[in-house]
Amino acid sequence: MRKRGYHHGNLRQALVDAALQLIEAKGPTGFTLSEAAKQAGVTPAAVYRHFEGREDLIAEAARQGYEIFADVMQYAYDKGQPSALAAFEATGRAYLAFARKYPGHYIAMFESGISVNRTPELAAVVRRAWDVLENAAADLSQHIPPDRRPPAAMFSAHIWALSHGVVELFARNSPGKQSPFSPEDLLESGIGVYLRGLGLIGPDD
């Protein structure tokens, strides 16, 4: 007798969903494939019809996470238009919002040790997410004189690193959560300092 009526390809996604719950609860190395199978309501043998092992399962969770992440970033970027500054700042806030709303995906993407080049599909969607932030940086960079303009890839890398640092230190279970400032305030002020350094916003903005 089938459990939970998984059919028509739903089992693969059910296993990913189970893994996401376990990743959030126990971390990417804190669960076994047998636990994922049990959570999905199937036998351990059924897992191997869809995934070669735990890392393969986590990689698929990461790929799906990057798909959501890229869409969230793109939506934020589009919503900020036509202002290049508003669009750029929106992508930074979207990073924090994603980490809070999709913790299982976030951990699979950034804390599992899974290489972004593990599969061509994963590498492609990571590139899509990166391109959104790089495009936002390139748009904003047009307001900087060419001789003072950092490469868009560097510009976006700085903001990605800043956003990631705020998430890791102040928005998750870490000592930084004791900060008297909210992650949103820390990120907004950090981006503000960076943009003032580039001359993109005035001292009183």
Percent of the chain with pLDDT over 70: 90
Q: Which of 98, 100, 50, 77 is nearest to 156 (CA)?
A: 77
Residues 6+ apart with CB under 8 A from 122: 59, 62, 63, 66, 114, 116
Residue 8: per-residue pLDDT: 42
36: its two tokens = 């994922």
Cis before 175? omega within 30: no
CATH node for 58-197: 1.10.357.10
pLDDT tens-place string over residues 2-55: 444 444 458 889 999 999 999 999 998 888 888 998 988 888 888 888 888 889
Domain ranges for the chain: 1-51, 58-197
Q: How many CA atoms lie within 13 A of 156 on its CB side?
A: 21
Q: Are 170 and 176 in contact (CB under 8 A)?
A: yes
What's the pTM value of the predicted model, to 2 decimals? 0.85
CATH node for 1-51: 1.10.10
Q: Are 17 and 64 in contact (CB under 8 A)?
A: no
